Amino acid sequence: MGSLGLALSSMAAARPTPSLASFPSVPLSNNKYSASLHSSDSLETSRASFCLEISCHRRLPAELRWKMSAATRSGPVVAVAKPEPLKIIISGAPASGKGTQCELIKKKYGLVHIAAGDLLRAEIAAATENGKRAKEYMEKGMLVPDEIVVTMVKERLLQPDAQENGWLLDGYPRSLSQATALEDLGIRPDLFILLDVSEGILIERVVGRRLDPLTGKIYHLKYSPPENDEIAARLIQRFDDTEEKVKLRLKTHHQNVEAVLSIYKDVMLKVCFTVHTTIY
């Protein structure tokens, strides 16, 4: 696996972890390095491999692989031109395993993780006007209007830490208009990662989630049940984790994702997982 794989090998499961370098690579178009990676294994066993093998993937251009290698390099500074900080956008439906991948990628490449959802939740918690408006849409399982989030995302991407270290943008853009807004601002990723999981699996993951209001811990009724009856008795289902609302969210997601991909098709890496997993 090389130096890239060794760096996070301890994160892999005890049983053999499949290498995405060995999965069939299928071009999605005639663009310079769009590709699709398919795994018949679970995200639980291949999640670390996915993160580790991104920069080894043969369809990525040499310039991008150099950036990713430079982001993880340690030791004496060599007198060569420093590449621009790495910029990645990651996209996936609710419960697609995006949070797990963000954590791995952030640690591996030292990127600033910027989650549009966290920015929105901060506004909601502060009961700002934007936060109140956003909550109304979220409770209906709808996407929050562009004007509420575009300014927050832009300002965060332009802060010094993101400019110096590079960034991993999570959950944005979600529509063509949002992607176009970033393009108009001159904000474009080096790599757009799309996680693709079947809808039936996504619904099962979301509907089975439960929150412990006392500790904030998330459980899953099937994959990660509570430790005892006392905890089970106090678990609650979050307002947007019902089947009806998740289906609305998935419908909206699918309607918008193709439009977003039309902007990023030349820098896209699609990762497909097709079985049930323990990630929720």
Q: Do 131 and 123 touch, CB atoms closer than 8 A?
A: yes
Q: Which of 174, 205, 210, 270 is catalytic?
A: 174
67, 209, 210, 245: which one is catalytic?
209
- Angstrom distances, CA of residue 174 to CA of 89, 166, 214, 278: 11, 21, 32, 26
Secondary element (H or E) of residue 92:
strand 87-92
Decide if 72 contacts 86 (C-beta within 8 A).
no
Element containing residue 274 per DSSP (H, E): none
Tell me which H or E stretch contains 134.
helix 129-139
Residue 188 annotated as catalytic: no
SS3 per-residue string spanning 58-89: CCCCHHHHHHHHHHHCCCCCCCCCCCCCCEEE
47 labelled catalytic: no
Q: Is 156 a catalytic residue?
A: no
Indicate the SS3 state at residue 44. Answer: helix
Beta bridge partners of 88: 168, 191
Coil vs helix vs strand at 99: helix
Q: Is 73 a catalytic residue?
A: no
Token pair listed for 205: 């993951």
Q: Where are the beta strands (DSSP E) in 171-221?
A: 191-197, 209-211, 218-220
Is 98 in the active site? yes
Residue where the block lists tokens 């049930």: 276
Longest CA–CA span in the chain (Å) reads: 61
Catalytic residue of the set 73, 140, 154, 238? 238
Active-site residue, from 98, 156, 210, 270? 98
Among residues 47, 205, 245, 249, the one annotated as catalytic is 249
C-alpha count within 13 angstroms, C-beta hemisphere, residue 88 = 30
Catalytic (active-site) positions: 98, 174, 209, 238, 249
